[in-house]
Amino acid sequence: MSDLTVIILAAGQGKRMYSDLPKVLHPLGGQPLLAHVVATALQLQPHRVIVVYGHGGRLVPERLASLAVQWVEQGEQLGTGHAVAQAMPGVGDGDTVLVLYGDVPLIRAETLRRLVGLAGPDALALISVELDDPTGYGRILRDAAGHVTRIVEQKDASPEELPVREANTGILAVPAGRLKGWLAALGNDNAQGEYYLTDVIGMAVAQGLPVHTVQPASHHEVLGVNNRLQLAELERAYQRREADRLMLAGVALADPARLDVRGEVVAGRDVFVDVNVVLEGRVVLGDGVRVGPNNLIRDAEIGAGAEVLANCVIEGAVIGPGSRIGPFSRVRPETRLAAGVHVGNFVEIKKSNVGEGSKINHLSYVGDSEVGRNVNVGAGTITCNYDGAHKHRTVIGDDAFIGSDTQLVAPVTVGAGATIGAGSTITRDAPPGELTLSRVPQTTRSGYQRPRKKRPAG
């Protein structure tokens, strides 16, 4: 079997995006368009993946430097045929070349495998699609027997050819040795003065080679992005694809149209996700997890049986099994909550470890802290962890009780079983098992009158 070389064309400017960002860097599902195409190409286990970039200069390879691809610059944008030619040096004559596009992000690996399977040393294969409105696409022309004869671009099509609904997607698989010869013979005598890759189809037919076609399962697979409207349409198609995948894996979604997946989601059994939830990065949802409405969860692991109530932000954290978060909680990076932890409304936790069964239920900030087991943190408690230059840690031992409206000025330790009286400012270590508080004596001033505004006369 010949080696597979994938060439991805990503040099277009995207003028209709009205953006300084190269088109292929615009995000879909939280990832650049080009990253989706590369990820799909790599599923085919090709010998190499070559990306031809142009507009935006080095910005595209710099932003996507982590991709396992070879970068080739197209200095002048002279058409798709010219772009492919830039990538051909070093490609073996015995290879099969698969041409993809950096702004066509939803193509499936299954479709591409069928396509590559039809190509060979003496055969081409391309993806075509039947469109109700093929405006903007090249048309597939066939003879009376149904064989492909050539592709005509819309600007060069005759009035008789324009009504053809079978459109060319530009995605094709072709033997490399023959492709090199055809590319060398391309001309630019057409309406756009460009070297069209599609002209190689007519050359192949002239040499007696069969041209096979493959239709995608959905037309969204082969739709490109040329403006913000099309990007939004593909975003919805992508999100529906992700929602379908999750539901088929057993996840219950309150409304598949109101979920956004912007990364990888791994879910266990009997997971429920309510409306307007955004899942970013790598998110793991354990068995029986319930996610309420209007939540953002990013790069986090939610343990089995945990519940995230409405309007929370969880990022870079591990939530232990059986925990309850929210509503209106924020759990920030490097936080680890053990089993059965309760984090309530308007509570923020950052870079802290919280032990099993502890509760931080109301209007509190816990940062840079070690919180033991079965600790109760009262409403309005804050750890004062930043002195203006450095962060300091607070340690709270098992079974401690922190009264409401307490400030723990780090570095400080509250011993196991200690009680902190409400309204205290703790600047020194509190011993275990004892009551510690810092309050000024309560006084009452008899006869005190609050100042009052003078009322105008009359």
Paired residues of 308 in beta bridges:
291, 325
Give the type of residue at 226: N
CA distance from start to end of the chain = 103
Same domain, 294 and 254: yes
Angle at which helices 199-206 and 176-185 pack, to 10 degrees?
110
- The domain of 332 spans 228-436
Given 190, 222, 254, the domain boundary residue is 222
Q: Is 449 within the bounds of a domain?
A: no
Q: Is 252 within the bounds of a domain?
A: yes
Please state whether the peptide bond connecting residue 293 to the residue before it is cis, i.e. omega within 30 degrees of 0: no
Which pLDDT belongs to residue 331? 98
Q: Is 450 within the bounds of a domain?
A: no
Give the residue from 316, 268, 274 showing the smallest Cα distance to 291: 274
Give the residue from 328, 337, 338, 332 showing the smallest Cα distance to 350: 332
How many structural domains is the chain composed of?
2
Say how far apart CA 360 and CA 343 lie, in whole Å. 5
Same domain, 261 and 160: no
Same domain, 119 and 99: yes
**Pairing status of strand 139-142 against strand 124-130:** unpaired
**CATH of residue 298:** 2.160.10.10
Same domain, 208 and 242: no
Residue recorded with tokens 């479709």: 111
Q: How many other C-beta atoms lie within 10 A of the C-beta of residue 145?
A: 6
Given 222, 244, 267, the domain boundary residue is 222
Given 199, 222, 245, the domain boundary residue is 222
Which pLDDT belongs to residue 12? 85
Same domain, 177 and 286: no
Same domain, 81 and 193: yes
**Pairing status of strand 96-101 against strand 166-175:** antiparallel
DSSP state of 374: T
DSSP helix/strand/coil, 198: coil
Q: Is 444 within the bounds of a domain?
A: no
pLDDT 10s per residue in the chain (458 long)? Answer: 479 999 999 998 889 999 999 999 999 999 999 999 999 999 999 999 999 999 767 899 999 999 999 999 998 889 999 999 999 998 999 999 999 999 999 999 999 999 999 999 999 999 999 999 998 889 999 999 999 999 998 889 999 999 999 999 999 999 999 999 999 999 998 888 899 998 999 999 999 999 999 999 999 999 999 999 999 999 999 999 999 999 999 999 999 999 999 999 999 999 999 999 999 999 999 999 999 999 999 999 999 999 999 999 999 999 999 999 999 999 999 999 999 999 999 999 999 999 999 999 999 999 999 999 999 999 999 999 999 999 999 999 999 999 999 999 999 999 999 999 999 999 999 999 999 999 888 888 899 888 888 888 76
**CATH of residue 103:** 3.90.550.10
Would you call 47 a catalytic residue per the annotation?
Answer: no
Same domain, 118 and 136: yes
Say how far apart CA 136 and CA 225 lie, in whole Å. 12
Same domain, 263 and 351: yes
Catalytic residue among 26, 55, 220, 362: 362
Q: Is 447 within the bounds of a domain?
A: no
Token pair belonging to 16: 């209709």
* DSSP string computed for 228-254: HHHHHHHHHHHHHHHHHHHHHTT-EES
DSSP helix/strand/coil, 244: helix
Q: Is 443 within the bounds of a domain?
A: no
Please state whether the peptide bond connecting residue 175 to the residue before it is cis, i.e. omega within 30 degrees of 0: no
Residue recorded with tokens 């109700």: 132
* DSSP string computed for 333-350: TTEEE-TT-EEEET-EEE
Say how far apart CA 45 and CA 355 lie, in whole Å. 45
Q: Is 458 within the bounds of a domain?
A: no
Contact present, 35 and 25 (Cβ < 8 Å): no
Same domain, 178 and 198: yes
Q: Is 454 within the bounds of a domain?
A: no
Same domain, 171 and 271: no
Which pLDDT belongs to residue 458? 64
Contact present, 319 and 339 (Cβ < 8 Å): no
Same domain, 234 and 314: yes
Contact present, 368 and 384 (Cβ < 8 Å): no
Give the type of residue at 196: Y
Same domain, 251 and 166: no
Angle at which helices 80-87 and 176-185 pack, to 10 degrees?
130
Residue 330, H or E segment: strand 330-331
